[in-house]
Amino acid sequence: MVKVRFAPSPTGFLHIGGARTALFNLMYAKAQKGIFVLRVEDTDLQRSKKEYVDEILDSMKWLGLDWDELYYQSERFDIYREYAQKLLEEGKAYKDGEAIILKMLPQQVKIFDLIRGEIQFDTETIKDQVLMKSDGSPTYSFACVVDDAAMEISCVIRGEDHISNTPKQIMIYQALGLKPPKYAHLPLIMGEDGTRLSKRNGAVAVSDYRQQGFLPEALINYLMLLGWSPGNNKEIVSFSTAVKNFSIKKVNKAAAIFSMNKLKWINGQYIKQADEETLIDLLIPFLRAKGYIKENFDRNYLKNVVHLFKGRLSTLLDFLEWTDYIFKDQIDIDAELKEKYLSEDRKGSLKELGQKFKKVDVFNAVNIETAFKEVVAFLNLQSSDLVHPLRVAVTGRAVGPGLFEAIEVLGKQKTLERLEKNF
C-alpha cells in the first residue's frame, strides 16, 4: 500500500512551497490509490502556535488538499522516548546530561531518489545526532524517522532542501533496525530573479493568496506546473485529470520558477470559466468588506455587473477596482484624464447627451447607443469624438467594457448625475 505524508511545522503559516509539497504528495497518493497522511510536526513547543495549526489546516481544506489521517507529534512524545531508551540500552546511543545522542558510524550511504537518481553520502562528515533534547522533546530527524516507520510511510516526498537530512535519518533507521522508505526530493521554487522565493517575489502564505482573490482551483493548477507537466503543452488542468497523468519520476530536477503573471493568467482563465452565481458568492465577502453592498443587495443586479466584468478579471480583487464607479455615489476623475477628454469644447456635447439620455424611458444598452448616435449626428461629430469623453465623465476611466453596457449597469440616475456634475 502506497502511503505518503505532508508534515508541516506550525511555526508559521502554510506557504506556497509547502502547499506544492502537499499537492505532489496527494497527487502521488491518488494516482497510486494510496493514503495521504497529514502530520503536524509541533515538537517545538515554544515556536509552535495554535493559530498556525488552524491556518495550515484551513488553507489545506480551502485548496482541497484533503487528508486521510491526521497526527500531532506533540501527542507522541512517549513513543519517541521509548525508541530513544531502546537505543540507549543497546549501546547505540549515549546520554549527555538529559539529552540522548546517537553514535554516528562512518560509512557510505546510498539512496535512489525517485526524481534525482542515485545520491551518495559519507557519514564520516556528520557528527553524532541528538535524538532527544535535554528538555525532553525529540529532534526533527528522530521524530520524523520514528513516525514515518510507525505510520508505514512508503515514500517521503519533500523539498530538496531536506536532502542533507536524509543520511542522518538513514542512520537512525539503521540503528533502530527499520527499513527506510523511498525518497523523492522536489525541486526548489525560485523567484523570477533567480533567488529563493521570499515575500518580495511571491512566497507569501496561501491565506494571503486567498485574500488577494485567487481561486483555490487556479492556485492548485499553477502549483502542479511548478516542477511537473501534464504534457501536450497543457496549462489549464483539473486536479482529477492531473492525477491520471501524474508520475513522480517525471518531476523535474531543475528549480521551478514562480511567476505571478502566470498565476494571474491562470486565475483569470478560471474566473472566465466560473458560473456567475458561484462568482457572486465568492465576491460577496470582498464587496461587503469594501462597503459596496449591504445585507439586502439586489443579486440580479450584481449578476449583471459580474457578467459585464468577468472577462477582464485576473483576481477577485480586480472586480473591486474595475467596478468602484458603479458602487460609489461619487467618483474622482484623474486630472490628466480631465485635461485630455473633458475639455471646454466637449462640455456642450456632453450636456446635449445628458438631455437626450433623460428622455430614454427604457435605459438599456441598445437605447443608450441609439441616443448617443443621434446626438453625434445632430452635432456633426464622429462617434470617436464623444466615446472617450462620455466614458471618462461617467466612469472616471479611459478604458473598460462596452461603454453602453457599462452605462446600462451604472443606471440612469447616476449617469445623469455625473454628466450634470461635471458640466
Going by C-alpha positions, the residue among 18, 12, 11, 4 that lies closest to residue 63 is 18
Q: 3-73+188-261: which CATH architecture?
A: 3-Layer(aba) Sandwich (3.40)
* All structural domains of the chain with their residue ranges: 3-73+188-261, 76-186, 275-327, 335-422
Cα maximum dimension of the chain: 101
| Distance from C-alpha of 130 to C-alpha of 93, rounded to nearest angstrom | 9
Going by C-alpha positions, the residue among 386, 326, 333 that lies closest to residue 357 is 386
The CB density around residue 391, as the number of other CB atoms within 10 Å, is 19
> Domain 335-422 carries which CATH code?
1.10.10.350
| C-alpha dist (Å) from residue 66 to 30, 61, 107, 129, 151 | 11, 6, 40, 34, 18
| Distance from C-alpha of 12 to C-alpha of 127, rounded to nearest angstrom | 29
- Render each residue's pLDDT in the chain as its tens digit; 423 residues: 999 999 999 999 999 999 999 999 999 999 999 999 999 999 998 899 999 999 999 999 999 999 999 999 999 999 999 999 999 999 999 999 999 999 999 999 999 999 999 999 999 999 999 999 999 999 999 999 999 999 999 999 999 999 999 999 999 999 999 999 999 999 999 988 888 887 666 668 999 999 999 999 999 999 999 999 988 888 999 999 999 999 999 999 999 999 999 999 999 999 999 999 999 999 999 999 999 998 889 999 999 999 999 999 999 999 999 999 999 998 988 889 888 888 877 888 999 999 999 999 999 999 999 999 999 999 999 999 999 999 999 999 999 999 999 999 999 999 999 998 765
CB of 396 within 8 A of CB of 333? Answer: yes
**Cβ-based neighbours of 218, under 8 Å, separated by 6 or more:** 263, 266, 267, 269, 270, 271
Q: What is the DSSP letter of 180?
A: -
Same-fold call for 3-73+188-261 versus 76-186 = yes
- Domain 76-186: which CATH class? alpha beta
Going by C-alpha positions, the residue among 243, 69, 20, 37 that lies closest to residue 156 is 37
Residue 22, C-alpha cell as written in the block: 502537499
